Structure 1
């Protein structure tokens, strides 16, 4: 097991770093800050509450020495492991934790970055925007906290980073996320009244991440924060105008620089009189969190022309409502959080108001950016002919190419079905995603090909429970154990029901460790599991618990 030992060479570098000069101005306990900032982070994990193995996962983490982290919030099941990040005591434990992560049972995530989703406090049926979403840890946490039944737009302009977002959504089997690709500074209009909640976790200098990004000790300069300030402000301004009256917006960074934090907050309060900075009830929402209040004197951190006019006292006085977290307080990374409320009395978000002369005409849409479409009657009949009626199927079905997708009903109800008026004043019909560029929607439920029947995918079986009428076989634990040990069981050694079944994709129905589970399998000359190696490894570990 790797321990947190002092790195004396790095400590000397840290003492002469530009970041440390910044911290000195912040009046932190410098020795303590350097002590913790030069140590590796502990391994921290967020458990997926909608996975069937939720209780087993918690039990396994407890067995491995994990301790519950209460201060990230009451609804998030977070654990700190007794080793540094990536430093589990043996290769078998490392493999198990990686397989549990890859199979969607938990997510490896830095503890402080779990706080914003807790403050969003999402509810089923709400519409939520994560404006800068990749790699997806916060978007997926929001979906989990809303019981995977909200309408979440996870936006990421960069294609490479967007792929990480898709991967994380996929491994968790979440259906309530639509992934879009827009520059958040110009995020498009959405149907009225706007978003219930918005998370603005902007690109930042990362000065709070030095425990894992050690290169910052040598590479960070104040100019980096200055270069990001305008981008951060424009993103946050645009998101503010998409927030519906009464809605909540959480602004967060993993930076300690006031130029990226309190200065942004002050400018927002100055520009939008209908925004108010809420005081976060830490004792109630984040019990045990150690933190500092936001700073209200940032003269040492800004240049003379940072503000076009002097900020008024009303804005400055609210900055104590912000939260600053330094690494020494909770053995974590550094973080900043501010929570806004739209206190305006109008019906719709600021940028979604209609002018009196609108609509000025109608506009037909010839395409929808290649986004998923509702499942056609023809494809639905093929699906039902193959599998019959799916019980407990509470989402809606969509298609894209050879893929059939399940998404939460609220995604379609908020962002696809409503008619709307575009920014030019033209009436757009309902039943389209435009102007949203939806690159991925919900979770992959089924895939078909020219040569094989429609197959249910593992994603479909990880979260909300549903099952078909046809091609589903109850098996005993001994059958699954044999499949895990031998990979294949010859058909002549199976029950008569298997021998009378057509060759192809089937589902195995088993009462396993944590209750009823459905597992995809393939039946041909023998029976084999259609599971990846990570899922098999976890099932083998659970099998060992039975013995």
Structure 2
């Protein structure tokens, strides 16, 4: 423990010492210590060299200019426009959540209120173009804003627009996202029944897009057949991912924490009779894969100007192999006929075209680079490069032969257009007198692959950041290399199938040419998944015999694998199916939930003790199948978040006196409401607005007599108040469709209290005022009784994964 702590402190110290502090006061000249004063004085003798407390980031880098001019990323005549655009701040962009109940209202507000108001005002001459929809994004659901902070402070309309963005983003009705970052999901062609994997998902804006596509045109109270698994290697970034996607309120999402290049396939024994019990799956494969890999990030210079100072060619060279491994793993997890999008926010061909060309070389005819030039015609994009050079420590390299000649051991063949390996024989050539005079001339290779089908988005074309995108389709299973083993002749056909599949994974992970017989290992893993207790019993004697013996590296790795198969992921709560029949029966009877609503194996908790369960989550059929497959495969998936929070234990003073202590979560209400027959009251607009404004209203203060009577007949505890938008005839229970507006409330002994966050109440109130009125109605605040028990607002953060 102590040693690791010191190690961390040492790492922090090295990081701190090696980091330039731009806020630090400028140090005096070293010559001053020797009595030499170099300070400049004015005519009065006053010192004009004032200490610098802040220095802006330098927005130029000679090495950057030299590198990209040589690569020909843009034409020489447009270089100045390109570099000038890179030095300007990036306009803000955001998307309207297309699955939001108010998506069309938000779009109309942007078009009719903010954009037109600013065009009419035109104070600085820039407002007319300051807020506008992105022309290439479908249905005008993505917008761009190019206002500075100074403009936002000086203009009242802009200040109101800024507050609008902050509030709607917090609610989840809009998502702030860089414009070019919205592009990759659009080329995935996601349908509502697709299994989608987002390999490097954090911070989650693209995952949010994918979920919108899955839920597109879904019926009220019905979940789509597809799902999204969002993965990230960093635990903290997973938390950011959960925070971002929780605003979507979906039961079709699983968040995992794995290295993308080693993402597990959860393979299960093919001849298992239990396969039909969880959708017939024997392996976790995907219809669509988004492979937005870690990169040097120089396409984000406009958003992160600090990159100007840190940029070097080594940033791209250092991540090339990792990017290739992640992409190959993504293809191995892709179903035949499926589509994968490879993307980076980098302009460097070593991270872009070089990776794509190596993928095509490895996969042969099994993978096709798709031509999508006819899709999104309004998006200005440029074809991929077919020729480029590699630079390492100041030396330009046109081929792997040049790398060998200069002793560049860290430069791999896949970085070059041809991808050919060159064996350095320069010493022998020199001894034999075979070296020619023209040997130092760099002859740039040209790729024969159709790399022009890739897309390069450059900043000055549409005032965006830079991005690279390639769309790949899997035509057939990936080719595999035969592993060497003397046991091959003794393998059964089924064992050979397992070995072939494992070999495909090895190719995807870069484990090519290893002399390993993987079939025996795979069979052992399958047996262990079927009978974990057997595995534990067999391993116990070995643990006793080697208790005092230091473990080898291989043994430690094997121990780690055993822990993973047992599902003992450190720091992650277990995923448990909730099966307490007494509690489920109580919930169904209290809320009058239809028997047709699927509850069986759809409820998840993160705590095995049902007596202390605080939250119950609901998952879709697809997610349920994946969870069951994961159990049978040995819990290979490290799940940090899963499902939609449906029920939460009420802990207020009145909660214990209710017939049902579990209340409906505001996130789960839209899904559950169409299937409820009890604990529902229909409110006129006046009482509904009063609830949103005052959060708690006494029964005598309710305006509508019919509504007051409905509330009086409700049982003590959680209930749902549905807005009667047009004062039409009220049915019991009310009819629910996409336009239905409802909130969760708590009926106390003398009052009705809202169980929605203050931000949600404010946003919903504004939506209703815009829809039904032109001005807010001034209402007196009802008298509150201090002795009345109040129910706390549902303002706790949704941390999916806590017990």
Give TM-score scaled by structure 1 length: 0.87
Asked if 1:375 is matched to 2:578, the reply is yes
- Of residues 617, 636, 646, the one that matches 1:405 is 617
Asked if 1:95 is matched to 2:163, the reply is yes
Q: Using the TM superposition, give the Cα deviation of residue 293 of structure 1 relative to its aligned residue in structure 2, in angstroms.
A: 0.7
Structure 2 match to 1:521: 745
Structure 2 match to 1:311: 419
| 1:352–1:59 CA distance, 2 compared to 1 (3 A) | farther
- Of residues 320, 323, 340, the one that matches 2:455 is 323
Alignment of 1:186-197 (within 5 A): 186-190=262-266, 191-192=282-283, 194-197=285-288
Structure 2 match to 1:423: none
In 2, the alpha carbon distance for the partners of 1:296 and 1:226 equals: 18
Between stretches 352-361 and 448-457, larger displacement belongs to: 352-361
Structure 1 match to 2:232: 156
Query: Aligned with 2:667: secondary structure?
Result: helix
Post-superposition CA distance 1:398-440 (Å, at most 9, x none): 2333221122212223x2344x8xxxxxxxx74x772111111
In 2, the alpha carbon distance for the partners of 1:487 and 1:469 equals: 24
Structure 2 match to 1:3: none
In 2, the alpha carbon distance for the partners of 1:475 and 1:320 equals: 60
Q: Using the TM superposition, give the Cα deviation of residue 465 of structure 1 relative to its aligned residue in structure 2, in angstroms.
A: 6.4
Structure 1 match to 2:5: none
Contact 1:387 1:468 in 2 (8 A): yes
Task: Output the aligned Cα RMSD.
Answer: 3.2
In 1, the alpha carbon distance for the partners of 2:621 and 2:344 equals: 32
- Of residues 159, 167, 177, the one that matches 2:243 is 167
Alignment of 1:217-296 (within 5 A): 217-283=308-374, 285-296=375-386
Contact 1:294 1:321 in 2 (8 A): yes
Contact 1:70 1:287 in 2 (8 A): no
Asked if 1:362 is matched to 2:527, the reply is yes
Aligned length: 525
| 1:516–1:161 CA distance, 2 compared to 1 (3 A) | same
In 1, the alpha carbon distance for the partners of 2:255 and 2:376 equals: 29
Q: Using the TM superposition, give the Cα deviation of residue 166 of structure 1 relative to its aligned residue in structure 2, in angstroms.
A: 0.7
Q: Using the TM superposition, give the Cα deviation of residue 110 of structure 1 relative to its aligned residue in structure 2, in angstroms.
A: 1.1
Asked if 1:21 is matched to 2:66, the reply is yes
Query: Aligned with 1:178: secondary structure?
Result: strand
Structure 2 match to 1:385: 589
In 1, the alpha carbon distance for the partners of 2:472 and 2:413 equals: 21
- Of residues 30, 50, 71, the one that matches 2:136 is 71
Query: Aligned with 2:147: secondary structure?
Result: strand
Contact 1:293 1:323 in 2 (8 A): yes
Post-superposition CA distance 1:231-283 (Å, at most 9, x none): 22222222222122212111101011111111111222222224434233233
Between stretches 475-484 and 462-471, larger displacement belongs to: 462-471
Larger radius of gyration: 2
| 1:198–1:332 CA distance, 2 compared to 1 (3 A) | same
Structure 2 match to 1:57: 106
| 1:185–1:537 CA distance, 2 compared to 1 (3 A) | same
Contact 1:103 1:535 in 2 (8 A): yes
Q: Normalized per residue, which structure has more helix? A: 2
Q: Normalized per residue, which structure has more strand? A: 1
- Of residues 512, 537, 547, the one that matches 2:762 is 537
In 2, the alpha carbon distance for the partners of 1:499 and 1:11 equals: 64
In 2, the alpha carbon distance for the partners of 1:40 and 1:398 equals: 45
Structure 2 match to 1:426: none
Contact 1:473 1:507 in 2 (8 A): yes
Contact 2:285 2:335 in 1 (8 A): yes
Structure 2 match to 1:416: 627
In 2, the alpha carbon distance for the partners of 1:462 and 1:253 equals: 36
Contact 1:17 1:217 in 2 (8 A): no
In 2, the alpha carbon distance for the partners of 1:362 and 1:112 equals: 47
Contact 2:387 2:447 in 1 (8 A): no
Query: Aligned with 1:434: secondary structure?
Result: coil
In 2, the alpha carbon distance for the partners of 1:25 and 1:251 equals: 25
In 1, the alpha carbon distance for the partners of 2:671 and 2:97 equals: 9
Q: Using the TM superposition, give the Cα deviation of residue 458 of structure 1 relative to its aligned residue in structure 2, in angstroms.
A: 1.8
Greater relative CO, 1 or 2 (CA 8 Å, sep 6+): 1
Q: Using the TM superposition, give the Cα deviation of residue 178 of structure 1 relative to its aligned residue in structure 2, in angstroms.
A: 0.4
Contact 1:275 1:340 in 2 (8 A): no
| 1:537–1:90 CA distance, 2 compared to 1 (3 A) | farther
Structure 1 match to 2:400: none
| 1:296–1:485 CA distance, 2 compared to 1 (3 A) | same
| 1:85–1:186 CA distance, 2 compared to 1 (3 A) | farther
In 1, the alpha carbon distance for the partners of 2:321 and 2:746 equals: 54
| 1:365–1:47 CA distance, 2 compared to 1 (3 A) | farther
Structure 2 match to 1:497: 710
Post-superposition CA distance 1:374-398 (Å, at most 9, x none): 3314242232133221599578332
Query: Aligned with 2:676: secondary structure?
Result: coil
Contact 1:173 1:463 in 2 (8 A): no
| 1:314–1:241 CA distance, 2 compared to 1 (3 A) | farther
Structure 2 match to 1:435: 636
Contact 2:95 2:175 in 1 (8 A): yes
In 2, the alpha carbon distance for the partners of 1:260 and 1:85 equals: 34
Structure 2 match to 1:132: 200
In 1, the alpha carbon distance for the partners of 2:242 and 2:107 equals: 25
Query: Aligned with 1:125: secondary structure?
Result: coil
| 1:90–1:176 CA distance, 2 compared to 1 (3 A) | same
| 1:465–1:143 CA distance, 2 compared to 1 (3 A) | farther
| 1:480–1:273 CA distance, 2 compared to 1 (3 A) | same
Q: Using the TM superposition, give the Cα deviation of residue 193 of structure 1 relative to its aligned residue in structure 2, in angstroms.
A: 6.6
Question: Which structure 1 segments of 5+ residues have no match?
Answer: 1-9, 421-428
| 1:538–1:439 CA distance, 2 compared to 1 (3 A) | same
Q: Using the TM superposition, give the Cα deviation of residue 297 of structure 1 relative to its aligned residue in structure 2, in angstroms.
A: 0.6
Alignment of 1:1-20 (within 5 A): 13-20=58-65
Asked if 1:83 is matched to 2:147, the reply is yes
Contact 1:14 1:20 in 2 (8 A): no
